[in-house]
Chains A and B, each alone.
Chain A
């Protein structure tokens, strides 16, 4: 690309720069994202606007193309890495300004299931979309989920299973939440290769998420519903 003119991020207008950031996220360009975040902050942008208009909006495009089979895991991981680098700059500022949170998720693979690639991808993409993620790792018994829900007070509980033999355990967790009267306090999302929508409904989850991109989209939809209800 040497014949094309180099882009000087600091010379772009705000609108141009934001569009450029969407491209750079798409290409997983971490340093460029860090630079652009600092430029926008330097121009007086609110940290929350940088997060939503530049980073989250850019990752949404990445998510759509992942969902549609245009981008695949390697590209998405690079994009999420770039996003996280930008997020690291914004995080302390967001806390200071009391900006609204995107949401918080507790996630883990269920008891008996040690397959974690899918769960890790969801964690990375959720963080990439600005969510706070508490990762419980693999092989979680119902008590472990309950303890984490009480300690972390998340908006969303995510459960993952790769094995057909472990997916019924998701129902055990949901049934326990119901018994304890906690079910309605959380949005429960489930995922994993052998699952499907029918299964998600059968066990009483709020939604089944086919892949990490769908998980992010679904989480955002539930969060906006929640904001609308409390507004």
Chain B
């Protein structure tokens, strides 16, 4: 337990992670279609401001600007050859901000999905996926990241490939999936199935959980699904600040700082140890979340009814884990 995150997890009751990366960078003038990772080199001052925003709002952990920094995604910008360097710089900038914080702050090296569909359905093999993630992991390690932070994954195969890459890089890691399809991930993984997947890995993550997805209510339901499996592993909750709405040609997330504060407290009470935001979560949301987590006493584990009452309705009737989950269609006959 020599790494900073393990140390903080052992010492503290809860840790706050950061908010959105994309939403913040777009507000600084990132053009849609531009790869945010290119800013690590071109506009480092903006990336420092992004990190500083989270740290000043009280985050104990912040993610590096490297979500799309794997060779498969960078290829869309003809920058596949720069994956390692862009990740290294993302982490170096993070190190700089974290070391100046005056308190322990974890630099988490963000690793998003490859965007490819894995074999046998798609063309990405396990070996290639491991290689892609490993390159990114080495860059983040070189830059001084404390931990690798795999996020927004939907396929179990991809989660496993990222785990193997972390092992090859000799780095501790965390990994969250995105549950956005009737309570499951796009590839059909339920909260219960993820707990199972995590515990079967040869190098399980320090913490696991859910990020992004549909809205704070759905994310809370997923969280309760993890807890119901009786896992002892620290759980991460990183939900979006509400749901995006369209007004006069602009999009904004409808989750207010007050709502995100409620979400943070409910997430802690439900059993999450690391709590943060995702899309739409700005420093003002993080400040409200930090205040609520610091001031409000721990309450009982919330029920689904309570969650819907405070945060709004769920996007689907079931999350695929209970008896009411849809059963596959009756087969006529099975072939031998």
Contact = CB atoms under 8 A, between A and B. Distances in A.
Interface of A: 1-2, 4-7, 19-20, 23-24, 26, 29, 32, 61, 65, 68-75, 77-78, 81, 111-117, 120, 138-139, 163-169, 171, 193-194, 198-199, 202, 211
A171 to B, nearest CB: 7
Interface stretch (B41-49, B216-224, B323-331): B323-331
> Most chain-A Cβ atoms within 10 A of its Cβ — which of B328, B331, B333?
B333
Contacts of B180: 193
B326 A69 contact: yes
Nearest to A120: B117
A117 B326 contact: no
B297 interface: no
Nearest to A169: B32
B188 A139 contact: no
A73 B187 contact: yes
A20 B332 contact: yes
A138 B76 CA distance: 9
Contacts of B76: 114, 138-139
| 6 cross-chain pairs, A with B, having the tightest CB-CB distances, nearest first | A72-B188, A112-B32, A69-B182, A112-B33, A164-B251, A70-B326
Interface residues of B, number: 44
A211 B181 CA distance: 9
A178 to B, nearest CB: 16
B186 A167 contact: no
B121 interface: yes
Given A65-B326, A72-B181, 6 more contacts: A4-B333, A4-B336, A26-B329, A69-B183, A73-B187, A168-B249
Contact of A6 (B73, B251, B329, B336): B336
A195 B333 CA distance: 40
A41 B331 CA distance: 25
13 contacts: A1-B334, A7-B336, A23-B333, A71-B328, A72-B184, A120-B117, A163-B32, A164-B251, A166-B33, A169-B32, A194-B244, A199-B246, A202-B246
Contact of A114 (B33, B121, B122, B336): B33
Contacts of A24: 335
B125 interface: no
- Classify the secondary structure of A's interface with B: loop
Contacts of A168: 246, 249-251
Nearest to A199: B246
A69 B181 contact: yes
Contacts of A116: 115
B316 to A, nearest CB: 6
A139 to B, nearest CB: 6
Q: Which of B318, B326, B327 has the most CB of A within 10 A?
A: B326
B13 interface: no
Contact of A163 (B22, B117, B183, B334): B22
B58 interface: no
B326 A68 contact: yes
Given A69-B318, A69-B320, A2 B336 contact: yes
Nearest to A117: B115
Contacts of A74: 121, 155, 187-188
Contacts of B335: 1, 4, 6-7, 24, 29, 32
